[in-house]
């Protein structure tokens, strides 16, 4: 396997100096199965050989992830012998190798905050079981709550209205209003869990004031139907990427789906005979929506002619290897690129503007 993809004897020799033949061959197979091109596989191995040489010289043979972290710190300071582009490629290759080692069980897996901090683990389970919160929402909250536990400790009995408000104020200060609202929501949700578990006094969640906002102070930002059509026309299905983007944009504009909803669409959710699609939104309750002809045609066109031949159950995958299901961020980038390409003067450039546009069009037609 190694000889088939890496032509340089020197690169092969350096790779085999830190891994067994079976391990290196397995890594090459891992790259091939992930959808990387032969050129990228060889380039990745060449960069990895650079990194493994540094790791071996500095005594990190038995802990490659620690060696990668140390190399990254020095590379950011310009204190490695390689030029900036080579060092960047070496770090990128090292991250792929560490991912491979973790999947093989040869390196310790990353631990989430909910696994590392028992209090957050209990909150995570409560959020899923009792509140129906999505994993993405919980990860967003836990990013804030790790800082809260670090600042105030893991004894909820010591939490007071004053130190909680001080934490929220300090944590929100570097951010804008929207991020500040998320921080407040995270802390209030955590406090509601503590009250439910009998670990802090009632009323403490109400001690955290919400950010000032006024409902209906502005109308939702949307595009007129003609502008939506211009964006769709800018995604003529002439390349694999544009075939995918057009199908995603049709789902956004015709059905008003969220970016996260699109990332979770699996083959089993599509019923071609009844022309329906099953979608589970924030409530995680599956609902059947009609599948318009043009949307179905675009999805089918993508599956037949553009989708990478991967085993993922999700329909929409990233265009570049490693091919994985798209997420909310990917869908927003697709929407932004299409709007820019079309030249439409949009009020916002994210995926949500299409959801608002679909809802506005329905209201205008008497829905």
Q: Which residues of the chain have pLDDT under 50?
A: none
- Whole-number pLDDT of residue 117: 85
- Whole-number pLDDT of residue 280: 80
- Whole-number pLDDT of residue 292: 94
Domain boundary, last residue among 69, 104, 139: 104
Q: Does residue 43 form part of some domain?
A: yes
Q: 182: which DSSP letter?
A: H
Task: Specify whether 300 is located in the same domain as 250.
Answer: yes
Q: What is the pTM of this model?
A: 0.75
Task: Specify whether 149 is located in the same domain as 236.
Answer: no
The 10s digit of each residue's pLDDT in 255-310 is: 999 888 899 999 999 999 999 999 986 666 788 999 999 999 999 999 999 999 88
Tokens of 52: 């493994």
Domain boundary, last residue among 176, 207, 238: 207
Task: Specify whether 355 is located in the same domain as 235.
Answer: yes
For residue 276, list its beta bridge partners.
Answer: 271, 290
Task: Specify whether 269 is located in the same domain as 310.
Answer: yes
Number of folded domains that form the chain: 3
The CA–CA distances, whole Å, from 139 to 148, 164, 188, 197 equal: 14, 20, 15, 21
- For 354, the domain range is 225-364
Distance CA 207, CA 309 (A): 53
């Amino acid at each position: 396997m190694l000889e088939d993809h890496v032509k340089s004897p020197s690169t092969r020799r350096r790779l085999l100096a830190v891994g067994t033949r079976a391990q290196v061959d397995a890594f090459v197979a891992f790259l091939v199965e992930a959808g990387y091109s032969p050129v990228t596989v060889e380039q990745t191995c060449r960069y990895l050989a650079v990194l493994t040489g540094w790791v071996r010289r500095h005594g990190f043979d038995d802990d490659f992830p620690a060696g990668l972290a140390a190399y990254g710190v020095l590379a950011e300071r310009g204190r490695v012998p390689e030029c900036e582009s080579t060092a960047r490629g070496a770090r990128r290759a090292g991250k792929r190798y560490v991912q491979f080692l973790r999947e093989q069980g040869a390196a310790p897996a990353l631990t989430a905050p909910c696994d590392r901090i028992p209090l957050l683990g209990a909150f995570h389970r409560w959020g899923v079981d009792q509140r129906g919160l999505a994993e993405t929402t919980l990860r967003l909250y836990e990013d804030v709550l790790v800082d809260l536990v670090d600042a105030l400790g893991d004894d909820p009995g010591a939490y007071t209205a004053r130190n909680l408000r001080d934490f929220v104020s300090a944590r929100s200060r570097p951010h804008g209003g929207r991020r500040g609202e998320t921080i407040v929501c995270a802390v209030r949700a955590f406090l509601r869990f503590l009250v439910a578990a009998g670990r802090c006094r009632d009323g403490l969640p109400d001690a955290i004031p919400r950010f000032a906002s006024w409902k209906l102070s502005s109308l939702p930002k949307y595009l007129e139907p003609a502008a939506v059509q211009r964006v769709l026309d800018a995604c003529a299905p002439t390349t694999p990427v544009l075939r995918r983007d057009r199908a995603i944009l049709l789902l956004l504009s015709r059905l008003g789906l969220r970016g996260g909803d699109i990332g979770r669409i699996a083959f089993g959710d599509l019923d071609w005979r009844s022309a329906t699609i099953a979608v589970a939104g924030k409530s995680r309750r599956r609902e059947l929506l009609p599948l318009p002809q043009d949307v179905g045609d675009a999805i089918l066109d993508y599956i037949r002619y553009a989708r990478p031949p991967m085993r993922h159950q999700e329909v929409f995958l990233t265009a570049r290897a490693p091919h994985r299901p798209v997420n909310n961020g990917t869908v927003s980038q697709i929407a932004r690129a299409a709007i820019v390409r079309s030249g439409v003067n949009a009020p916002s450039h994210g995926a949500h503007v299409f959801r608002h546009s679909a809802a506005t069009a329905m209201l205008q037609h008497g829905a």
